[in-house]
Amino acid sequence: MQRWLCRRSKSLTALFLIGVVGNLGCVSNRGLALNSQLPEGVAHGDDLPILGELSQSQTRIAKPLRIVIYDYPSLSQFPLLELDVDFDSQMVLLAAMGPASSRSCRIEIESVWMGDRKIEVDVTEIYPDSDDQKSPAIVSPIHAVVVPRSELPVSGFTSRIPKNLYLQ
């Protein structure tokens, strides 16, 4: 009876150790996978460097947008954007205000940083004082920035470019 308990105890101990070591390996692998998605030299909480930027007000984009652009075909959907981008190591974040009735309106991507398992972006829309005159022309301000490429999600942004992008 004691031999049976001893063998059973060894078997349970072996299974327990296999389970613990296996789970530790999985947790470790997930951490490595997450770290491999970070741009080189950037840790959680760090600002991502803005490598280039472009602001325009006369884009005729029909709606507010927050778009991540990972390739040239997607960038070509925005013909007014003339940015120097290497999509192997960089991506573009584009924020569009949509139609606005004053030339004083603008939108700015102020900072980009590594959050908890995603990239965070601080976007500010700037409107003129109420006593400023309205412009007869409709403007549609955008701001685009080039940052190091990451496969992590970007909070509040999508890579899907909507249909009917431009005003008619």
* 64-108 pLDDT per residue, tens: 999 999 999 999 998 777 889 999 999 999 999 999 888 889 999
The answer as to whether 157 is a domain residue is no
Indicate if the pLDDT at residue 137 is higher than 80.
Answer: no
Token output for 117 = 């398992």
**56 lies in the same domain as 119:** yes
Domain total in the chain: 2
**32 lies in the same domain as 63:** no
**66 lies in the same domain as 123:** yes
Residue 78: the pLDDT is: 87
Question: Domain range holding 123?
Answer: 52-148
What is the average pLDDT across 51-73?
93
**120 lies in the same domain as 92:** yes
**21 lies in the same domain as 93:** no
**64 lies in the same domain as 134:** yes
* Residue 20 banded pLDDT, cuts 50, 70, 90: very low
The answer as to whether 64 is a domain residue is yes
* Residue 17 banded pLDDT, cuts 50, 70, 90: very low
Residue 21: the pLDDT is: 45
Phi, psi values for residue 30, rounded to 5°: -65, -40
What's the pTM value of the predicted model, to 2 decimals?
A: 0.75
The answer as to whether 70 is a domain residue is yes
What is the average pLDDT across 131-138?
65
